[in-house]
A and B are shown apart, each in its own frame.
Chain A
Amino acid sequence: MTARVGVVTFPGSLDDGDAARAVRLAGGDAVRLWHNDSDLQGVDAVVLPGGFSYGDYLRCGAIARFAPMMESIVAAARDGLPVLGICNGFQILCEAHLLPGALTRNQHLHFRNRDQLLRVESIDTAFTNSFSAGQEVLIPVKNGEGCYVADERTLDELEATGRVVARYLGGNPNGSQRDIAAITNEAGNVVGIMPHPEHAVEALTGPSLDGLGFFTSILKHLAGAPA
């Protein structure tokens, strides 16, 4: 059976189309989910795409967190549903307290848009099991508020428990503490990543095909590979 991966569209989402396409290229069925519905339609995993949900008003992701679809996702994630938040999706996951910390204005105040080298440090999550430990990948980063911050204790704990999923290499694009580009929750079923794997899935439009691994990992995970 083909895995059904939900992609949520909020008002202001930009990368929902690309995320759905990446799911299909990886071999899954993309199921479009609407922010104002609460029915998850029985999907096996969810992607929260990048963009500017609700205009980024108040704080990035702060209002999206209270969307009916998000309430369903938060409950399902606590029961183990794999959830990948990309860029704005990462911000939403932090605002929803599914991931610790917060994403703040880039330290240099510039919007940063470039191809970014990352090192995948944790391959035990539902979204990174297709990679090898320490693998370097090239995927685009594009954010204005991607500076990951958390208190020292949280950062220490993330590192000690192997929950830093990816780090920036070759220059930190936004000032994130400890060069953190992606993290996961304790169970490993929720991952937030600031760069955009869905923009690196085809030779025509991306700098590499490295992003595809995040989506093939979902299928591998659902097929029963150890999470």
Chain B
Amino acid sequence: MARVVVDVMLKPEILDPQGQAVANALPRLGVDDVSSVRIGRRIEIDFVGEADLDRAREIADKLLANPVIEEFSLRVVDAESDAVDSRP
């Protein structure tokens, strides 16, 4: 099976209150050396045949991410072995 993984993150300049809330909770775990936490979304798209990066990019651009506030990266993953063919 051909899988494309899409990672969607808020742009650095967009405030991430969820990430901040998590960062603020870390001292309760005894963690005090973390300066920032930001939360994004990982989306796995399984193609019927070959992984189609261009099509995946179109899906990400039109639907999965909102370019006003988010940026995304794509990579093809071997779904069976989970070996990562890394593409920025």
Contact = CB atoms under 8 A, between A and B. Distances in A.
Nearest to B62: A66
B41 to A, nearest CB: 8
Q: Which range holds the interface residue count of chain B?
A: 10 to 19
A94 B64 CA distance: 15
> How many residues of A sit at the interface, in one of the four size bands?
10 to 19
Nearest to A104: B69
B15 interface: yes
A160 interface: no
Interface stretch (A74-82, A105-113, A186-194, A219-227): A105-113
Contacts, number: 32
Interface of A: 58-59, 62-63, 66, 94-95, 100-102, 104-109, 149-150, 175
B21 A149 contact: no
30 contacts: A58-B63, A58-B64, A59-B66, A62-B63, A62-B66, A63-B63, A66-B63, A94-B68, A95-B66, A100-B68, A101-B68, A102-B66, A102-B68, A102-B69, A104-B14, A104-B15, A105-B17, A105-B18, A106-B17, A107-B15, A107-B17, A108-B17, A109-B17, A109-B18, A109-B21, A149-B14, A149-B15, A149-B68, A150-B68, A175-B15
Contacts of B63: 58, 62-63, 66
Contacts of A104: 14-15, 69
A150 B21 CA distance: 22
Contacts of A109: 17-18, 21
Contacts of B14: 104, 149
Contacts of B18: 105, 109
Contacts of B21: 109
Nearest to A105: B17
Interface in B1-20: 14-15, 17-18
A175 B15 CA distance: 10
Considering the complex of A and B, which 3 residue pairs feature the smallest CB-CB distances, nearest first? A102-B68, A102-B69, A109-B17
Nearest to A110: B17
Given A105-B18, A107-B17, 14 more contacts: A58-B63, A62-B63, A62-B66, A63-B63, A66-B63, A102-B69, A104-B69, A106-B17, A107-B15, A108-B17, A109-B18, A109-B21, A149-B14, A150-B68
